[in-house]
Chains A and B, each alone.
Chain A
Amino acid sequence: MAVKHWALKKSLWVYHVNTGACNNCDIEVLDLLTPRFDIERFGMILVGSPRHADVLAVTGTCTRQAMPRLQELYRQAAKPVVVLAIGSCAGAQGIFTEAYHMGSPVDETIRAVDPNAIIAYVPGCPPKPEAMIAAVVKAWDVIDTL
């Protein structure tokens, strides 16, 4: 395991993107910072700028309005960057699949920019904070192969 993989795994900085979520997933993302889960134990903190981010925590269905903005945010992030598609909506647009205002799902939107993007899915409506931590651990395995 190279030093750079170890350092990246131990210091994932999260930028939180809402692409049209109902706010439930966002509340669960913020739960990760509370004393009960405290992801700073693993070196994860929320950052204010996508340039600083190692993880884009994407919640929401990715509407037509949000689609180009999500792609721009992905381009702005310094690579390597992991995308967490949090919630049923971000995974497969949930119950809104047929709706008129949908863009493409989060993974397709990101892959249109970077076909090799690292995307982890966290199903649930909303997913539990434990599930998000589990998704990060799965992303660690991918980071090792970089």
Chain B
Amino acid sequence: MSVPAIILTYLAAAAGTLLLGLAAKWFDRKVTARVQYRKGPPWYQPVADVLKLLHKETLVPSTGRGAGFLIAPAIALGATALAAAMLWAPLFAHEGSFLGDLIVVIYLLVIPPLATILGASASGSPHAAVGASREMKLILAYELPFVLALLVGVIHSGWTLQLGKMAADQQGQAGATLYSISGVLAMIVAILAVQAKLGQVPFDLAEAECEIMSGVFVEYSGPPLALIYISRAMLLATLPLLLILVFWGGLKLTLTGVPAFLGKYLLLLTLVTLIRNTNPRLRIDQAVRFFWLGLTPLAVLAAVLALVGRYKGLSWL
């Protein structure tokens, strides 16, 4: 592909993810409402939210650093959009990925929380400072089990770090990584890490409305808040794609493959929403302990099982 074509594809993928993200956000709120026996917002709710925020006033706190405060949401949005585009490419065409794009995606997915920490620290608010410190600890907690869980997918597809090849491998003789013991363990770890990446309950301690007043986002208003809203919606749409690519066989462009992909996608979104609706918020020490002492050993076990399965030829392991 020529360079302009690649740029156009990436822009289209980012715009598509934006629409999908707003839809996912609505789905999340609607399911939450149904769980609570409420009716929930209409389908255009996230669109109205974003349009409203874009037309509101931008306030910069007098104790803050304006440049860092305002640029942070843009960095988060850019990183999320790029990660989303890099996940769509191998979904539609297996040769649409390059060697090592899994590593690039992992790096890109760390940038939004880092930008959040930057913006929160630049806002000069004590609530945001508490939120930023929690977000930092949370990144340290969930990154290791998340990468270990993705490693299981890498082992299963024969040590390839190329998302397109991983999907192609799972669509071939080997079958999806998820349909093995190590795959299931890794998927559980990855879903919980995704929950923390999205800042959803039970790992929403960086925001914690009723405790530190939206924490890291406390000083944001108007268009910067709209960028945060959009980037979080896009992250909600993007992370299930990564899970499907690495563990669940990607997208097969056939008559049965497309509905199956949609089903998997909706199932993962529903799962994330239900976890958020059925759990109370953890304290930061509980969250770190949960990830380090609970999920990291589980992810190591999954990786070991996957290695044994790979070299003993036991595909079910």
Q: Which has the most chain A C-beta neighbours within 10 Å: B40, B41, B56, B217?
A: B56
**Out of B49, B55, B57, B222, which one reaches A43, CB within 8 Å?**
B49
> Are A43 and B45 CB-contacts (below 8 A) given A8-B55, A38-B39, A78-B222?
yes
Complex Cα–Cα for A4 and B226 (A)? 14
Which residues from chain B contact A51 at a C-beta distance below 8 Å?
A: 59, 218-221, 225
Q: A41-B39, A51-B221, A79-B57 are in contact. Are A7 and B51 (CB under 8 A)?
A: yes
Note all chain B residues with C-beta closer than 8 A to A3: 51
Q: A41 to B42, Cβ gap below 8 A?
A: yes
| B279 at interface by CB-CB < 8 Å | no
Q: How many A-B residue pairs have CB under 8 A?
A: 86
Complexed CA–CA distance, A89 and B62 (Å): 33
Most buried by B among A3, A11, A41, A77: A11
* CB contact under 8 A between A78 and B41, given known A4-B51, A10-B48, A49-B218: no
Q: How far is the CA of A80 from the CA of B52 in the complex (A)?
A: 10
Q: Are B41 and A49 in contact (CB under 8 A)?
A: no
Distance between A36 CB and nearest chain B CB, rounded to angstroms? 9
A:5-59 near B, CB below 8 Å: 6-8, 10-11, 34-35, 38, 40-41, 43, 46-49, 51-52, 54
Q: Are the C-beta atoms of B48 and A40 separated by less than 8 Å? A: no
Whether A41 contacts B40 in the complex (CB less than 8 A), given A48-B210, A49-B214, comes out as yes
Cβ-defined contact, B36 with A49, below 8 A: no
**8 Å CB contact of B59 from A34, A35, A46, A76:** A76
Partner pick for A4 among B39, B52, B58, CB 8 A cutoff: B52
Residues of chain A from 56 to 95 with CB closer than 8 A to chain B in the complex = 76-80
Docked complex Cα distance between A4 and B49 (Å): 10
Q: In whole angstroms, what is the CA distance A48 to B58 when docked? A: 18
**Bound CA span A40–B47, Å:** 14
Q: Taking the complex as formed, is B311 at the interface, i.e. its CB lies under 8 A from any CB of chain A?
A: no
Q: How far is the CB of B245 from chain A (nearest CB, A)?
A: 33
**Which B residues from 210 to 236 make CB contacts under 8 A with A?**
210, 213-214, 217-222, 225
Residue of B nearest to A12 (CB): B52
User: Are the C-beta atoms of A43 and B214 separated by less than 8 Å?
Assistant: no
Contact B213 A49 (CB under 8 A): yes
A10 and B59 contact, CB distance less than 8 A: no
Q: Which residues of chain B are within 8 angstroms of A54 by Cβ–Cβ distance? A: 52, 56
A48 CB contact (under 8 Å) in B36, B56, B213, B222: B213
Beyond A7-B55, A79-B56, is A41–B41 a contact (Cβ under 8 Å)?
Answer: yes
A49 vs B222: C-alpha distance when bound (angstroms): 13
Q: Taking the nearest CB of chain A, how far is it from the CB of B159, in angstroms?
A: 46
B312 interfacial by beta-carbon distance below 8 Å: no
> Are the C-beta atoms of B36 and A35 separated by less than 8 Å?
yes
Q: For B207, what are the chain A residues with a Cβ–Cβ distance below 8 Å?
A: 48
Tell me, in angstroms, the Cα distance from A11 to B42 when the chains sit together: 11
CA distance A79 to B59 in the complex (A): 9
Q: How many whole Å from B243's CB to the nearest CB in chain A?
A: 28
Q: Please encode chain B, from 23 to 62, with 1 for each CB lying within 8 Å of some chain A CB and 0 for all others.
A: 0000001000100111111101101110110011111000
Determine whether the beta carbon of A35 is less than 8 Å from that of B37: yes
A43 to B214, CA, bound (A): 19
Contacting pair B49 A78 (CB below 8 A): no
List of A residues within 8 angstroms of B217 by Cβ: 49, 52
Instruction: Determine the residue in chain A with the shortest Cβ distance to B220.
Output: A51
Candidate in A34, A38, A76, A80 with the most chain B CB atoms within 10 angstroms: A38
Other A-B pairs beyond A11-B48, A48-B209, 14, CB < 8 Å: A3-B51, A7-B47, A7-B51, A34-B38, A35-B38, A40-B29, A40-B40, A41-B38, A43-B45, A48-B210, A48-B213, A51-B218, A51-B219, A78-B221
Q: Which 10 A-B pairs have the closest CB atoms?
A: A48-B209, A7-B51, A78-B221, A4-B55, A7-B52, A10-B48, A51-B221, A48-B214, A78-B57, A38-B38
